[in-house]
């Protein structure tokens, strides 16, 4: 079986991490021939071991409502024609639009829905209320035509929330939705016995990993730190990631005089070591397709306290592997942090269970399921 995965680039991000793990594990299967296509040579991960499987294929699509579409996909089309894949599997919306602008109906096409694909929402031309709605309406029409021209399409939903969404917005002839939760390389995140922690035992060390954007909602976590400080609870929050909200977060930290309690660490190569040095993982995304970092934290032995982002409901169990907080309530969120730190018996129970729970999301089990889905589609 010949398989092509497509993603715009390999900059730091959850979708990019899972794609790397997928390619790395698929390539170990002797019966498979695998290729990873990027549109631009932007790689922020160590991929030396799979570099020979990566091909940079500059491609771009600009859709226009009033003018002719601009399609720069000749090189990508040539890649399909030469490689002759059985499976074409795209990740993230740019890869979706660009790849479907090519024509290769002899392959089975897969769209990996890492979140709700906003452009597939049910919007009629007479219910358009904004420019974004109008764009979504025309993008959906374009995609549905391209799906059908390429002989149909399959969707990978990473959570029940996304699965239900896709089934509610797709026409019957394109409703081939497979539920497959994301996975991690569990062994990478298991804390080794010889690891020596560098954190102070008198301070509760919180950690959060994610792109610094409005949806990740790190402002809320900073408010939580302020609440904890007001309760005289010693705490330090490390936020790993980069993004457009960095300056706003820095301003908030300075305004609240939390420079000693909150650190913006930027991008980190070995996030597992940052996790091993923490006590709790905290997550504040407003909407969440799945929550890959939650599983990584659990594999590292950390209880998780998270806001309800939709897609992470299926992986969170209160007082089992952490807490899921339904509303943006700083006081309640802070109370759960204090409860876990002060109740040592509960903390150790949740920590141990979280580690065991994470094993079911191991990339090797995931790949077996993914290959089975591919074979069923063929």
Q: Do domains 2-183+362-377 and 186-360 have the same CATH topology?
A: yes
Q: From 152, 301, 211, select the one nearest 17 (Cα to Cα).
A: 211
Domain boundaries, the chain: 2-183+362-377, 186-360
**What's the distance, CA 125 to chain centroid?**
31
Please tell me the predicted confidence (pLDDT) of residue 145. Answer: 95
User: Per-residue pLDDT for the chain (378 aa), expressed as one digit of tens each?
Assistant: 999 999 999 998 889 999 999 999 999 999 999 999 999 999 999 999 999 999 999 999 999 887 888 999 999 999 999 999 999 999 999 999 999 999 999 999 999 999 888 788 877 666 667 777 788 888 999 999 999 999 999 999 998 889 999 999 999 888 899 999 999 999 999 998 877 777 667 899 999 999 999 999 999 999 999 999 999 999 999 999 999 999 999 999 999 999 999 999 999 988 999 999 999 999 999 999 888 899 999 999 999 999 999 889 989 999 899 999 999 999 999 999 999 999 999 999 999 999 999 999 999 999 999 999 999 998
**What's the distance, CA 40 to chain centroid?**
20
Whether CATH 3.40.50.720 fits 186-360: no
Whether CATH 3.30.70.360 fits 2-183+362-377: no
Please tell me the predicted confidence (pLDDT) of residue 126. Answer: 60
Cα(134)–Cα(141) distance, rounded to whole angstroms? 11
CB 205 within 8 A of CB 278: yes
pTM comes to 0.86
Please tell me the predicted confidence (pLDDT) of residue 175. Answer: 87
Q: Which two tokens stand for residue 209?
A: 């990993």
Please tell me the predicted confidence (pLDDT) of residue 213. Answer: 95
Q: Reduced to 3 states, what is the DSSP secondary structure of residue 337?
A: helix
What is the rounded (10 degree) CA torsion for 25, 26, 28, 33?
-160
Please tell me the predicted confidence (pLDDT) of residue 14. Answer: 86
Residue 87, Ramachandran bin (φ over 0: left; ψ between -120 and 50: alpha; else beta): beta
Please tell me the predicted confidence (pLDDT) of residue 339. Answer: 95
């Amino acid at each position: 079986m010949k398989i092509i995965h497509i993603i715009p680039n390999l900059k730091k991000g959850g979708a990019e991490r899972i794609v790397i793990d997928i390619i790395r594990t698929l390539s170990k299967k002797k019966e498979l021939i695998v290729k990873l296509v990027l549109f631009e040579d932007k790689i922020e991960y160590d991929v030396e071991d799979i570099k020979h499987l990566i091909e940079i294929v500059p491609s771009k699509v600009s859709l226009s409502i009033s003018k002719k579409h601009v399609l720069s996909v000749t090189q990508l089309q040539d890649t399909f024609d030469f490689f002759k894949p059985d499976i074409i599997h795209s990740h993230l919306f740019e890869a979706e639009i660009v790849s479907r602008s090519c024509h290769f109906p002899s392959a089975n096409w897969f769209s990996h829905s890492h979140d709700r694909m906003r452009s597939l929402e049910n919007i009629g031309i007479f219910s358009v209320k904004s420019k974004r709605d109008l764009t979504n309406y025309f993008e959906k029409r374009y995609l549905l035509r391209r799906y059908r021209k390429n002989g149909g399409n399959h969707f990978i939903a990473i959570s029940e929330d996304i699965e239900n969404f896709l089934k509610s917005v797709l026409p019957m002839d394109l409703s081939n939705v497979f539920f497959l939760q994301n996975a991690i390389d569990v062994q990478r995140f298991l804390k080794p016995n010889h690891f020596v922690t560098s954190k102070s035992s008198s301070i509760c060390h919180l950690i959060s990993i994610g792109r610094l954007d409005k949806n990740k909602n790190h402002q809320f976590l900073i408010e939580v730190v302020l609440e904890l400080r007001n309760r005289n609870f010693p705490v330090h929050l490390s936020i790993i990631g980069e993004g457009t909200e960095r300056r706003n977060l820095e301003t908030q930290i300075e305004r609240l005089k939390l420079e000693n309690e909150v650190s913006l660490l930027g991008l980190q190569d070995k996030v597992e070591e940052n996790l091993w040095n923490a006590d709790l993982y905290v997550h504040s995304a407003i909407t969440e397709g799945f929550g890959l970092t939650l599983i990584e934290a659990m594999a590292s032995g950390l209880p998780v306290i998270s806001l309800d982002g939709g897609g992470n409901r299926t992986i969170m169990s209160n007082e089992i592997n952490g807490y899921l907080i339904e509303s943006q309530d700083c006081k309640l969120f802070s109370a759960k942090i204090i409860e876990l730190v002060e109740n040592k018996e509960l903390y150790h129970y949740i920590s141990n269970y979280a580690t065991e729970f994470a094993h079911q999301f191991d990339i090797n089990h995931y790949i077996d399921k993914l290959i089975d889905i591919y074979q069923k589609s063929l």
